[in-house]
Amino acid sequence: MAFSLSKVGNGERITFSDKLILEILGDVINDEISIDGEAYRISSFISIGGEGSVQTYVWETIDISITQNNQTEFSINQDIDDPTNIFLIINHVLYRYGLNQDFHIANQLLYWHGGFDLEPTDQMYLRFLTTI
């Protein structure tokens, strides 16, 4: 299910998902939220909406090979609809998504613009939520 709110000032209506509330209140990096003292997986969120529709979200992981020193562009061969749920991990460190951050994705290409040069010995993978 979704809900919408009007922006203060210009009145523009923006639509949000119920899952967004869980992500704001919970711990997205550890994929959990605590409700009444019990821990739950945010990625197990199922939206139960009108007409009996159900959406199930799962984490998908893509290993990314670094084939040359200083490589900055990588083909991911995957359409990713929601960039707010993208995690890039290099050598066990999480990097931030965005044009002014460490990396961004456009047209099934990942562009690295983090603070260091990548090498073929670096281990890199992408994790993101997708619906099934």
Q: What is the mean pLDDT of each run of 10 residues along the chain (132 residues)?
A: 77 79 83 88 72 64 95 90 84 92 92 94 91 67
pTM: 0.59
Contacts of 54 (CB under 8 A, 6+ apart): 46, 47, 48
At 47 the pLDDT is 67
Residues 59 and 125 sit within 8 Å (Cβ to Cβ): no
| Contact (CB, 8 A) for 128 and 85 | yes
pLDDT at 6: 81
Q: Is 25 helix (H, G, I), strand (E, B) or coil?
A: helix
Question: Is 14:5 a contact under the CB 8 Å cutoff?
Answer: yes
